[in-house]
Structure 1
Amino acid sequence: MAVVTNSAPHAARRFDVPKIAKDLFFTTLIAIGIFGSTIAFETVSAAGGLSLRYRFDTAFYVILVVVLGRLLLWIFFWSKAPGQAAVTVPAGVKKSLRAFGEKFGRFAGPVLLLLALVFPFLPTTDRYFLDLSILILTYIMLGWGLNIVVGLAGLLDLGYVAFYAIGAYSYALLAQYFGLSFWMCLPLAGILAAFWGIILGFPVLRLRGDYLAIVTLAFGEIIRVVLLNWYQFTGGPNGISGVPRPSFFGIPFTRGEGGFADTFGLAFSSSHRMIFLYFLILALALITNVVTHRLRRLPIGRAWEALREDEIACRSLGLNTTSVKLTAFAIGGMFAGFAGSFFATRQGFVSPESFTFIESALILAIVVLGGMGSQLGVVVASVVMIGGFELFREAEQYRMLIFGLAMVMIMVWRPRGLISSRVPSIFLKEKKKVSADMVAQGEGH
């Protein structure tokens, strides 16, 4: 049975009531199975052990919201007139949105850079927001590094956190055993991470898709397990503490004579070191962005994109896919090594628990949700995801549920990411002129 209404402005909507009722019935069963077992029961500490606390009312409201949301989707999106789409966007609106997106992409970069430069000096910026912005910039840098492997080269990497860990432990171990400073260990950490990226690249040269994802996932777990069990060298589960802090070109951020504040005649403040760390990670992230943009316009960048589109066609054009894959893994791993070295000096402590698979999944989610291959999309996704974690921190156990629901909604309405369009690598500026000259020559002959 179908019910036709005149709710649409140009065409009547058709509601297939039995189909909708069947869909809502199964939606209710699935929601009961998921939320009835996760929200309706909660373990609490009690005398002699644990006890269950029942929250049937909360589970009922969550299930009701899910079912009503499904019903609204049927009413406004999925029900349609025969031969017409559920929601028709006028061509003028599409053109306006496309023009707005192009202008936003053109001016968003400089505006965000200016905001990032003045952010530490704003009156509303305190220690909490400064520390959160450092964390966001770290994930932006990691997202841009993984974007080379996943977004440009099209190689699914689920073990990217391994390069992050290699960079962090490289600095911690070099500083512990050889007494090297941060500025000396920073390039060494990137080189070592790039070297391990090449080592990972060789076994996966003939793999693609799910098989590549499994191998990279295994690589990430191997690195974490080695760090966890090599107790004599890495400290095992205890990690490495006392990692040296960076200095301002040899000037430490300490109180007293010879410190940063004393050298420049300032009143001592603990925020000086935080502001320095902020601008340090901002500079590293900007270097990552600039290098990525330059590489995209070079032959190696176009080779990455050709590999992403079709590996067989890439090989048929005479490109060496071996070197193309190895350079993608090496350069992406190098930037992760830089970020890992910064993470170690910022925390002053490293341990294997900081480099789990969840970190790789989070970085990959930033790249995918932002739009694969989009640099600006990685920035937006990092701010939304990392800032979203902090925004819903008070929600406690509901935080991951809300976060997961938001990710599902984004992927439903924006399957190609928040910013799916990006500037092409190269432009054919002389296309019309060349075509006109060829026509004139043809007419002359």
Structure 2
Amino acid sequence: MSGSPTSGLRAVKLRAPSALFDRPAPPRGVLTSQQGFLRALGGLCVVLLAVLPFIDASRYTMSIATSALIYVMLCMGLNVVVGYAGLLDLGYIAFFAVGAYVSGILTTVVGLPMWAALPATIVCCIVAGIIIGAPTLRLRSDYLAIVTLGFGEIIRITANNLQITGGPSGIHGIPTWSFGGWSFADGLTIGGLEFPQRVLFYYFVAAIVVLVGVIGAGRLAKGKMGRAWKAVRDDEDAAEAMGINTYFAKISAYIIGAVWAGVAGQLMATHLSAISPNSFQFLYSALILMAVVLGGMGSTPGVIIGALFVSLAPELLRDFSEWRFLIFGVLLIVVMLFRPSGLWPATAILPWLKKQRPALPPTAGFATPVPVDEPGGEADARGEEGVSR
């Protein structure tokens, strides 16, 4: 024999069988697909953000809108940690404080412009995420929550006792964004329309939140890293058994969440022009976590709705004076009772899409099967022919 049968089989090129039918293209319409509807809804929200200053550009409205967008940025970062990776973090406000204090120190003490302090803020948040996350992410569930809560308080108490952070008084006189000889404080006139500082900063925050926060976190969740996060969230032991480096997946989610919070902290420091340790208490960590759970963990539109609800509801109820926080708490309890998975959970399907039935594949080229026990069928004919013989 010239060769073994296995050597002959190795020389044969394997070819995948051809498809029996062409798979139909997925629907992309606004009302026929979930993704198309969400894209249209996102485009509408961007249009509303751009139109709002032309409707009401008062200082109060712009201030509330800017704070709400910063909350959206914060909640998107925490959604990566809690919603995607399943890490219960009760000290998330610590990274918010790191971003605010680093940018405040670099702009007031060192004298850097705000845009030059942004890379340093990101680097410091990455280092803080590694320092806090490296020893704590080996823990799980309640133990992780308690340790992260402790780290959040450590950051606040440290800022309260250091001289460079201003101690209990904090840092005041934080400048706005400036580029060369022009800053947001000077305003801008385009086509005869005057845009004051509050409107320009509002546009700036809107662009950061929509482009970086929402789109960036959404794209990360759909990639390889996002699938690893969700596998760790569902079952860490099973994910590790399937070859996923669970520790790297958790710490990467923690670092990305820290960067999102640090950028939001820098924006808040610029917006308020003053920061103090009282602005970074545990209550704010709980409020941000409440927004993520309320909207729907792991859901981008749900987290945005939750952040807007938590940030805007107390302001909308301001007419009720001292009763507004009680009404706010009652509203939260009602939502939790009737929507335990969140206002817009990650597994939500649009109501009109539930009624659509999946399209059946084309049957052209397939032979119609004939039941064996059917009289006159092929098997019956063969049986009669055998008996007659």
The TM-score bracket by the shorter chain reads 0.7 to 0.9
Aligned with residue 112 of structure 1, among 45, 53, 65: 45
- The aligned residue for residue 359 of structure 1 is 284
Change (3 A) 1:298 1:249: farther
Tell me which amino acid in the other structure corresponds to 1:168.
Answer: A
C-alpha contact (below 8 Å) 1:198/1:327 kept by paired residues? no
1:234 is aligned to 2:165: yes
Residues 250 and 325 of structure 1: is their aligned pair in 2 closer, same or farther, counting only changes over 3 Å? farther
For residues 188 and 400 of structure 1, the distance between their equivalents in structure 2, rounded to whole angstroms, comes to 38
Which secondary structure does the structure 2 equivalent of 1:234 belong to? coil
- The CA deviation at 1:284 is 1.5
Aligned to 2:325: 400
- Whole-angstrom distance in 2 between the partners of 1:334 and 1:273: 26
Q: What pairs with 1:177-188 in structure 2 (closer than 5 Å)?
A: 177-188=109-120
Taking structure 1 as reference, are residues 389 and 104 closer, same or farther at Cα in structure 2, changes over 3 Å only?
farther
Hey, what does 2:203 align to over in structure 1? 279
Find the counterpart in structure 2 of residue 414 from structure 1.
339
Normalising by structure 2, report the TM-score. 0.77
**CA offsets 1:162-185 (integer angstroms, 9 cap, x no match):** 000000000011112221111011
CA RMSD of aligned residues (A): 2.5
Contact 2:184 2:201 in 1 (8 A): no
Is the CA contact (8 Å cut-off) linking 1:253 and 1:273 kept in structure 2? yes
Shift of 1:250: 4.4
Asked whether 1:175 is paired with 2:107, we answer: yes
TM-score, normalised via structure 1 length: 0.68
1:341 aligns with 2:266: yes
Deviation at 1:191, TM superposition (A): 1.8
Q: In the alignment, which residue of structure 2 is the partner of 1:52?
A: none
Within the alignment, does 1:329 sit opposite 2:254 as a pair?
Answer: yes
Distance 1:369 1:234 in 2: 34
- Are residue 310 (structure 1) and residue 242 (structure 2) matched? no
Separation of aligned partners in 1, 2:306 and 2:184: 33
SS of aligned partner of 2:288: helix
Distance 2:34 2:306 in 1: 16
- How many Å separate the matches in 2 of 1:105 and 1:297? 15
Deviates more, 1:107-116 or 1:412-421: 107-116
Structure 1 residue aligned with 2:20: none
Residues 282-312 of structure 1: CA distance to partner in whole angstroms, max 9, x if unpaired?
Answer: 1211212121122112211111010100000
Question: Structure 1: which 4+ aligned runs deviate by more than 4 Å?
Answer: 98-104, 259-262, 264-267
In structure 2, the residue corresponding to 1:233 is in which secondary structure?
Answer: coil
Measure the CA separation in 1 of the matches of 2:119 and 2:62.
Answer: 26
Mapped contact 1:194–1:329 kept (Cα < 8 A): no
How far apart, in 1, do the equivalents of 2:72 and 2:113 lie?
25
TM-fit CA distance, 1:421: 3.4
- Aligned-partner Cα distance in 1 for 2:223–2:36: 25
Partner of 1:137: 69
Pairwise CA distance, 1:395 = 2.3
Over residues 120-178 of structure 1, what are the superposed CA-to-partner deviations in whole Å (9 max), with x where a residue is unaligned?
A: 122x4422111111111000000001100000000011111000000000001111222
Aligned residue pair count? 321
Q: What is the Cα deviation at residue 357 of structure 1?
A: 0.8
AA partner of residue 48 (structure 2): L
Percentage of matched positions with identical amino acids: 43
Which blocks of at least 5 consecutive residues in structure 2 are unaligned? 1-30, 350-359, 362-389
Q: Which is bigger in relative contact order (C-alpha 8 A, separation at least 6)? A: 2
CA distance in 2, matches of 1:100, 1:129: 35
